[in-house]
Structure 1
């Protein structure tokens, strides 16, 4: 039996604050503390408090700040039992800036950020951290245009590798790494330490304290290839360590990521959070002599995680956000899968019905966040669709076994590998773009990551499908985890040279259905560590991919633009307006500075 491990901190405020959900009149602030405490957030002469709850001996609070004014912007403070713990000396103040209906929305997004040091050695191993570089730019230039939301779409932590020496030392102090699961994360206590290391750098900590964030898991938050196929799930469940891992991973995700995605109204309906809210109400009664102590959520949260894994339809990780005159829908493309060989889909029936209900027009831009790109480079899409047919037995048992091994080895498990679900969602999206679900938006734009390269893709003839919206895929990956150079060549080929050959091969097979609508990669791929900035401009949607560059000081990387593009709204007749390069998107090449660029 593993021991709790050494105390990794002496600070009363172990982690955070993280500014999470923010709308026009409310915000939530998340913290992890060293001991049970009452957490108080102060802003503009008002205070809001909440008692901590604990999970496996770690203490947390999510403080709901309500009654705020739209478009207001004020610094905030955090106290623990009346003692100030935030902001820290030498850091700029953290602020809560509520949404303003009259302000154009900006957001940043990306995926895949490994945990490592930010010195020369760490940069050699992982590259310069694009999120940290953005944080430095925001910290050092208060006049810079700030994102209203930081959207982190997967692999915030890597539970299946231990690149950080502190994490390995922590794990070795608890258990033997020669026994399963070896150097991978074993349980909740190790997850808590992994999150602490991922978010504790001073710049990262500050930027997460002052830019609202929304998150979604991907496979490495749990384990590489998570829910790739029915046989993968069968094989992993046969191990001695998986059940503890999946329960711990989902519980840790609920605490560190999921609850911050929810609005105060959604929190009030969340089944486990209701116990937190009830305990907080009882905590107020201590003034009359009652002392309820700290709520231990461990058992309730593990029961939820166990059920959510065994019966995915019983719990939803997906969510929506209103962003001014645009809307964001974030899809769980991992836990909600239907893996049955005769009904494979990225989303099970319950999740698909939910998505069908929330994909609606009547907004300027409908943004769809999904960790895995919906529109892969066409050559890769056809390759994965062909592999799915083979793995499902279309060409015999021997071919199926070989295709399954290939699927797991090189991660052929994106939307294209769940073709029925892909087709169903594509029809929903085109229905929105036709104006059949409310007035057609200017764009339906997928925001994704995962594939360790970045690109823009677009449906090539939306008017031919009757669509009045542009249908676009924007991919930003990695934030910090560069792809090996040899694999970069292969990915470039799938985006360009192999498109026609793979289409020819796939089209000859009666077992591989042809996509109903065509798309093409219009820009990219590029392979830098990136974070992407999105601006809902007066005309269209502006996107910019930026990377961190170290010149003289590793602590002060500057931002460099890798690519910038503007997606103009469709012409009145529904066809895209002419642009540079692809004829539909106006772009600017890599290499220029971002000074003055949002």
Structure 2
């Protein structure tokens, strides 16, 4: 039963683009398995059709014939499988809307380094293919772990393509979305050696522009009605689902997600701006609750009511993050109950219980000669905790044990994904010329969000010690990040010359200025020293929309960071103009020696 605050079956949201209805994401992949995420768009009986993409699929005429065969209506699953010469069919049912019609299929017993095509068939209306007919879908399994072939890692973050316009700023427009098409074209050029895509946080924005901001929706709809505090958690889940479907509805986004093994981690905007860095207690140094819910008193609600609503929003964000992002990552002990009802909401609110307190959203995996650890900097972030405010100590100890167990002969490269960069803010804000603009911009919450804030000294020092301990054992630690809306490369060295790299790519799309991003772009220092005594040097800084590739050669123990951005070229001829094209070369290429 959907309440009056739910967005289910409502069509008055001002999305300027078509929202995602049916889609796929290629998730965690090994040499013989893939986690494939699907959204069917409705309940029913479905069949995944898996087929080999042989040399014949390189022919445009063969592909056209296949699209025509799959596009017939009606067509049975058996007929579609015959047209594809499908090597496997996987039937499944979606009974209802508990997980927003999302499903993850774990495909096992695949062949290494093999390209598979896939299509999704629905039994509705006599049978039809609903995915993989108009555009053929495929993915490639990675080579075996014992192979030390060179491979590519792609990195992007911060997808916020919208802007508002009009006299009263009520019209929602799509800004420049070209970077997604450029990213898809770049990945396609490297399709035979691209093994990992890292979505480094803020894959959507719950609070991106005012017309779509669900936190503004909460502020104007929160109330008590018949003694009940509303909106309920079920309605809030519908809000977050609406955000994901809107932000992921673009064709360029789908072309990346449904073709390459994509590993995701959230940042604050999948929950709310600065989540975990606001002081919510009544006796905090500033009133974070009033910043998040400024209309609380006007709506006749208490501060305790406000904290209960924030807990509901967080649980809703966790549940939908699990549905849309974490479910296709390597498995962990995480995920809210999709069937939680209003009574359960009330009980948890009354006790202050957080059902997700023990959830594990961080994870690790390997890819021939490289080990990856994806840190969760949001699910357990709490500025009011006494220590380890970003990761929480249990997660930090998991990461430390993982890092200390790595064998530099087996995995010489050590990738650590931290959505928020470990180094960047201090290098910029050390610039004395920025002091007044920073104060004027009012970016205290953003600064507390940074690893380099004084509140995080203990945790940051412990993290850096783990990384340099690994470097001293012969590993090559690489921190990859997003968040700050500009891209940069920093090297950090200790007194003995051991090195850790900080690689940041942000943002793939963003059309609303961010004060901290402006400050970081304005004044990142060339070099300096961290509070822990490590020397840092900035090797690149790029302020436009961007994405990156990291070229890894485990056998040679070499890696290159390649940064891509929109490049403007002038066309020849009398009618020449200037247009953006996805040039094949990067705007920066740095050897990570």
TM-score normalized with structure 2 length: 0.71
1:130 paired to 2:159? no
Which of 484, 489, 500 aligns to 1:451? It is 484
Aligned equivalent of 1:257, options 325, 328, 339: 325
Q: Alpha-carbon deviation of 1:125?
A: 6.9
Corresponding position of 1:561: 586
Query: 1:332 Cα shift?
Result: 0.7
Deviation of 1:376 after TM superposition, in Å, equals 2.1
1:16 matched to 2:23: yes
In the alignment, is residue 37 of structure 1 matched against residue 44 of structure 2? yes
Mapping 1:475-554, distance limit 5 Å: 475-481=504-510, 484=513, 490-492=519-521, 494-496=523-525, 515-537=531-553, 538-549=556-567
- Encode CA deviations 1:285-321: one digit per residue, 9 max, x unaligned: xxxxxxxxxxx64559987998998376511110001
Query: Residues of 2 paired with 1:271 and 1:160: CA distance?
Result: 23
Q: Residues 476 and 176 from structure 1, CA distance in 2 versus in 1: closer, same or farther, beyond 3 angstroms?
A: closer
Which whole-Å CA distance do the structure 1 matches of 2:93 and 2:191 have between them?
36
Q: 1:448 to 1:483 in 2, by over 3 A?
A: farther
Give the match for residue 298 of structure 2: none
In 1, Cα distance between equivalents of 2:209 and 2:500? 39
Higher deviation after alignment, 335-344 or 545-554:
545-554
User: Match for residue 85 of structure 1?
Assistant: 130
Q: Does 1:426 align with 2:426?
A: no
Provide the residue aligned with 1:113 in structure 2.
159
Distance in 2 (CA, whole Å) between partners of 1:244 and 1:73 is: 42
Check 1:4–1:326 CA distance in 2 against 1; reply closer, same or farther (3 A cut). same
Aligned: 1:364 with 2:426: no
Change (3 A) 1:353 1:69: same
Partner of 1:415, secondary structure, is coil
1:60 aligns with 2:102: yes
2:384 is paired with a residue whose SS is: coil
Write the mapping of 1:218-367 to structure 2, written as runs, cut at 5 A.
218-230=267-279, 231=284, 238=304, 239=306, 241-262=309-330, 266=331, 297-299=339-341, 310=354, 313-340=357-384, 342-343=386-387, 345-360=389-404, 361-362=406-407, 363-367=411-415
Matched-pair contact (CA < 8 Å) for 1:346–1:422? no
Which region of structure 1 is more displaced relative to structure 2, 206-215 or 122-131?
122-131
Distance 2:482 2:122 in 1: 37
Which residue does 1:157 correspond to in 2? 204
- How far 1:342 sits from its partner (Å)? 3.7
Of 244, 250, 255, the residue aligned with 1:195 is: 244
Q: Single out whichever of 415-424 and 546-555 deviates more from structure 2.
A: 546-555
Query: What is the number of residues matched between the two proteins?
Result: 488
CA deviations 1:64-119 (Å, max 9, x no partner) are: 11111122222122223463222132x243234334433323111121111449xx
Change (3 A) 1:128 1:2: closer
Q: CA deviation at 1:159?
A: 0.3
Q: CA deviation at 1:517?
A: 3.2
C-alpha separation between the residues in 1 aligned to 2:249 and 2:502?
32
What is residue 502 of structure 2 aligned with on the other side? 473
> For the structure 1 residues 532 and 57, does the alpha-carbon distance in structure 2 shift closer, same or farther, using more than 3 Å as the test?
closer
RMSD (CA atoms)? 4.2
In the alignment, the residues of structure 1 paired with residue 173 and residue 263 of structure 2 have an alpha-carbon distance, to the nearest angstrom, of: 29
User: 1:412 — aligned with what?
Assistant: 448
Partner of 1:589: none
Could you tell me how far 1:473 is from its partner in structure 2?
Answer: 0.5
Give, in whole Å, the separation in 2 of the partners of 1:451 and 1:21. 26
Deviation at 1:366, TM superposition (A): 0.2
**Gapped runs of 5+ residues in structure 1?**
274-295, 388-401, 504-513, 569-598
In structure 1, the partner of 2:63 is none
2:9 to 6, 16, 19: 6
Match of 1:398 in 2: none
Distance 1:554 1:156, change over 3 A: farther
TM-score (ref. length: structure 1): 0.71
